Amino acid sequence: MNVRTERGFTLIEVMLSVVLLTIGVMALVGSAAMTQRMIGRGKESTFVAQRSSARLDWLRQLAASTAAPCTAAAFANGDSTKYGVHETWAISTPAGATNTRLVELRLQYKRSGRAVADTVKTLILCK
């Protein structure tokens, strides 16, 4: 009888471990790239949301800047391009309303090399 007293790993066990480790590392690399893309898209979305919020705040300030609200000369339809975002806004009076204005803000920008457009609608009170 031959009793084996040596301890260690066989060549097959080492090769299997290397294969499993390689698969794990490849999965991590793939998820890191996906995470990076998601962070970039989130950054773009946040920036566009900040631009729309700033534009709507500016329009609200204009609406409230005159003694008779919503009568400022600058409180009208317009457009602007800043930081790569083209903004177009249209102000209208909803049917049957006298002290409310409907503002439709359209933002056009590039995401991953292609043109994207978002639209935001809100009401501004003229009291």
Q: Sketch the domain layout of the chain as residue ranges.
A: 11-125
Which DSSP helix (H) or strand (E) runs through 89?
Answer: strand 85-92
The pLDDT tens digits of the residues spanning 17-64 come to 999 999 999 999 889 989 988 998 888 889 999 999 999 999 999 999
- Identify the band that residue 1 occupies on the pLDDT scale cut at 50, 70 and 90: low
Instruction: Tell me the torsion sign for CA atoms 106, 111, 116, 119.
Output: negative
Q: How far apart are CA 61 and CA 41, in angstroms?
A: 30
Give SS3 for 14: helix
Residues in a beta bridge with 72: none
Q: How far is the C-alpha of 75 from the C-alpha of 101, rounded, in Å?
A: 10
pTM for the model stands at 0.72
